């Protein structure tokens, strides 16, 4: 069981997206839980304000420290009351963070509780980030209007690695990136479509042959489409061969 907590000004946005399809089913079945906490509920401003102009001037509004801090502390207190001790990691979703990738998803999937802090507007007052954030993560070198979509991307990638979330436990192992290779091409019925035939080896019933063909296709595809991953794969293979010889 893994519990995700999302601090956001737009809770309905993340809940709508994440309560659908495979992740929605995982919530229904109790493999994961997803809670969206509205930062606005924690403001002490009597008009419900959560943002203000930036000191020093410049365009846009900044999310203020107080509501973000109080929302985060409220979630941490609940988590600590539940598990008796430890605080959860707090991930600030920002283009300034380190880039998200599959190994980081695997690392985060081992946590029991994760808090995602989503900024909006021009960002969040630096002082509260210094006090509550443990990890800053970006989903890539482009700028979005808020942290909600990146948080949803990361939660999807992490949640599908939680045991039980995917029906077929193999599929998290064989697909793209698990062993550093891209996935092989796949085919379903009919056997011939638009004059294109399914590769005959897949119809031969010899599992060893099928596996060998798929690995070969994965390697070829990776070499063609992602030379960076191919090089890393070849380096790993040659290191393993050397170790085997000793
Ligand atoms: N917020 C805005 N753009 C982002 C990005 N690329 N990754 C993470 N958070 C963001």
| pLDDT tens digits for range 70-104 | 999 999 999 999 887 789 999 999 999 999 999 99
Ligand 1 centroid from CA 94, angstroms: 4
pLDDT at residue 181, rounded to an integer? 96
CA of 124 to the centre of ligand 1 (A): 13
Per-residue model confidence as pLDDT tens digits over 170-185:
565 545 665 899 999 9
Residues 156-169 have pLDDT tens digits of 999 999 999 998 65
**pLDDT tens digits for range 201-233:** 999 999 999 999 999 999 999 999 999 999 999
CA-wise closest residue to 4 among 38, 37, 33 = 33
The percentage of residues in the chain with a pLDDT greater than 90, rounded to a whole number, is 87
Looking at ligand 1, which residue's alpha carbon is closest to its atom 9?
A: 94
Using the predicted structure, report yes or no on whether residue 122 has a pLDDT greater than 90: no
* Most informative mutation of 10, 92, 93, 117 for ligand 1 (most atoms within 8 A of CB): 93
141 lines ligand 1 (CB under 6 A): no
């Amino acid at each position: 069981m893994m519990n995700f907590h999302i601090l956001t000004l737009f809770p309905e946005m993340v809940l709508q997206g994440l309560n659908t399809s495979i992740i929605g089913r995982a919530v229904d079945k109790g493999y994961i839980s997803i809670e969206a906490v509205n930062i606005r509920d924690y403001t002490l401003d009597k008009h419900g304000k959560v943002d203000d102009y930036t000191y020093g001037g410049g365009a846009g509004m900044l999310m203020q420290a107080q509501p973000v801090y109080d929302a985060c502390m409220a979630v941490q207190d609940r988590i600590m009351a539940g598990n008796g001790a430890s605080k959860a990691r707090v991930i600030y979703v920002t283009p300034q963070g380190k880039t998200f990738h599959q190994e980081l998803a695997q690392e985060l999937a081992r946590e029991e509780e994760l808090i995602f802090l989503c900024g909006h507007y021009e960002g969040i007052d630096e002082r509260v980030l210094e006090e509550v954030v443990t990890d800053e993560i970006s989903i890539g070198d482009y700028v979005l209007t808020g942290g909600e979509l990146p948080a949803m991307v990361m939660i999807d990638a992490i949640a599908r690695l939680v045991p039980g979330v995917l029906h077929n436990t193999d599929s998290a192992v064989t697909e793209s990136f698990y062993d550093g290779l891209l996935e092989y091409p796949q085919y379903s019925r009919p056997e011939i479509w638009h004059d294109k035939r399914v590769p005959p080896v897949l119809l031969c019933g010899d599992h060893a042959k099928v596996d060998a063909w798929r690995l070969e296709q994965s390697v070829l595809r990776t070499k063609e489409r992602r030379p960076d991953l191919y090089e890393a794969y070849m380096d790993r293979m040659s290191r393993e061969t050397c170790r085997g010889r000793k």
